[in-house]
A and B are shown apart, each in its own frame.
Chain A
Amino acid sequence: MTETKKKLKKTKDFEPDLLVFCCNWCSYAGADLAGVSRFQYPPNIRVIRVMCSGRIDPSFVLKALKDGADGVLISGCHIGDCHYISGNEYALERFEKMHKILIKQLGINENRVRLEWVSASEGKRFAELITEFTNQIKELGPLKN
């Protein structure tokens, strides 16, 4: 579809559907902290908890995009903090390859799929991250149009 048509459909009240994969030990706890501390962030995300960011296979991301997610965020512990020692390093490696070979070649905007590290103490950062991500996707418009 052409760029202009895309813009027309990009109404102000477009609410994106975002999927967030959080690892159990850091990012999920971070998200929890954001909730407990009452930091506000847009309600567009759905969180899926996995044990480690290394669990996330590119097929999960692709399936999410196929089934209507407008953006996918993968988050895990900071490098070196993974509770399974090197899970997030695998995640990073896989993510970079996926970005370059799968997402980009499919013609999907790269900003729709992101990888971020969020630790258990970064509740504030989690809220900010989600706000920023949501705004970015709102800017891009729906994937399906």
Chain B
Amino acid sequence: MARYKIRQSAKKNVDELIAHKGVYTTITEIMSQPYINPDRSLEWVPKNIKIADKGSVLYYVGCIPYFNYEFDKIDVIALSTLQIISKIEKEPIVLFKEEICCGHDVYWGQGKLEIFIELAKKNIKMFEKAGISTIVTACAECYRTFKVDYPKLFEDFSQKFEVKHIIEYVYEMWKKGKIEFIGKNESEEGISFTYHDPCRLSRFLPENNAITDNTREIFKEFKKLGYSFNEMEHNKSNSLCCGVNSWMNCNEKSKALRYKRMLEAKSAGSIMLTSCPKCKIHLSCLQDDYEDISSIEISDFSEFLVNHIKVIDSNKNSEVEK
């Protein structure tokens, strides 16, 4: 819990190091105030998906709606995740209009612990009010925060709520035999793809986590569908970072790191998957500057999977097909 102090003890003004001039971290800070009740647009939710304010399964979107301010096509992560969950769940999914940030960025980036705690309290109150029991998220950072950092502050958090990343969720459903993967790749030669492990889903989780291996297991299954999975040179807990976690330090060094990562991806396949919205933003940002890496298609795990999931249902009537 004291890691954030390193930045402070380096006697640097943390505010100077924030990328995008601190727009997103300031938003987080504003959201921690008790008098702020966000009113997020749910325009991106398709009409045929039922959402509710109360229920047991929550899709925690994270800050994606705010990212629309500068980045295009980020909504698609939220959309495809919601589609996946709603295909599997029978009940309407809970989506909060007044959802706030999980606090990851102020905790890791600037070390503003008080704000982090405020946010955590506000979040927990909201979850309790809506009667949530399972939280599903598609954001690696939200996942790690809920899984590891909140229980450190509030001991009963992990008893009250079950936190699942969409990868974990899909994996479990698949193992339970509730879903199968469909959608064969029709072209002659197989499509090769690779996976960028976000820090928060690999080395930043407790050692006994199985997410990296689960991900690989799902990808192995895709071999049957004509998609071959290749590892990059650095992978799993050893993977290279996208360089800008918590919106900190977007500079030439982190760009160099990203470029290196993109070269690795290029030699591994034509599609690069990741499961953190920020990794996607940062890696694709570099593609505008460098032509040699612009051919790689970067997409989110859920974006890739959404058209490949079919629900196996014993009583056929609620079968959803896509």
Residues of A within 8 A of B (CB): 1, 57-59, 62-63, 65-66, 97-98, 101-102, 104-108, 143-145
Contacts and interface: CB of A to CB of B under 8 A. Distances in A.
A59 B22 contact: yes
A105 B298 CA distance: 28
A63 to B, nearest CB: 5
Nearest to B26: A62
12 contacts: A59-B23, A59-B26, A62-B26, A63-B22, A66-B26, A101-B66, A102-B27, A102-B66, A106-B30, A106-B31, A107-B37, A107-B38
A105 B66 contact: yes
Contact of A104 (B23, B39, B98): B39
B129 interface: no
Contacts of B37: 107
A63 B25 CA distance: 10
A108 B36 contact: yes
Given A101-B69, A102-B23, A106-B27, A1 B39 contact: no
Nearest to B33: A144
A57 B39 contact: no
B69 A98 contact: yes
B21 interface: yes
B272 to A, nearest CB: 27
Contacts of B21: 57, 59
B40 interface: yes
Contact of A66 (B29, B41, B69): B29
B68 interface: yes
B230 to A, nearest CB: 37
Nearest to A65: B30
Contacts of B34: 1
Given A1-B35, A58-B23, A105-B38, 12 more contacts: A57-B23, A58-B69, A59-B21, A59-B26, A63-B26, A98-B69, A101-B65, A104-B39, A104-B41, A105-B66, A106-B30, A108-B30
Interface string B11-49: 000000000111100110111011111111100000000
A81 to B, nearest CB: 26
**Residue with the greatest number of chain B CB neighbours at <10 A, chosen from A101, A104, A106:** A106
Nearest to A105: B40
Contacts of B66: 101-102, 105
A145 B23 contact: no
Nearest to A62: B26
Contacts of A66: 26, 29-30, 33
A66 B15 CA distance: 14
Contact of B35 (A101, A102, A143): A143
Contacts of A57: 21, 23
A105 B20 CA distance: 19
Contact of A107 (B20, B22, B36, B65): B36
Nearest to B32: A66
Nearest to A58: B23
Given A57-B21, A59-B26, A66-B29, A106 B65 contact: no
Contacts of B38: 105-107
Given A65-B30, A143-B35, A105 B23 contact: no
Nearest to B68: A101
A106 B39 CA distance: 6
